[in-house]
A = this chain, B = another copy of it.
């Protein structure tokens, strides 16, 4: 399995990278993540469990029934990849305005 396939095995599922991106701004609580990302609570719980098991984030107990989710070093190391993907999407918009790359049919 290539490195890329290994990475996608961990953060390739839906919402995973978006959760990590949110946590790059600092620890967040469950309900805040759910509201900010606009995702279902069942999916969020599943992803948080997977990402914690993968060592990307960890739970921080705050108060009695409140906790925060914070990135580990491994999670923070995803910043480069997340920013690269974000730059790519931003470039697409720019390219659509400045350049037309329509392939030509040979016939």
On A, residues with C-beta under 8 Å from B are: 2-8, 10-12, 14, 17-18, 21, 55, 58, 61, 72-74, 77-78, 80-82, 84-93, 95, 101, 103, 106
Which of B72, B73, B81, B103 meets A85, CB within 8 Å? B81
Number of copies: 2
Chain B residues, Cβ within 8 Å of A87: 3, 80-81
Which of B7, B21, B72 meets A88, CB within 8 Å? B7
Known: A8-B18, A74-B95, A101-B73. A3 touches B90 (CB 8 A): yes
- A88 B84 Cβ-Cβ under 8 A: no
A-B contact pairs, 5 of them (CB 8 A): A2-B21, A6-B89, A7-B88, A58-B103, A72-B101
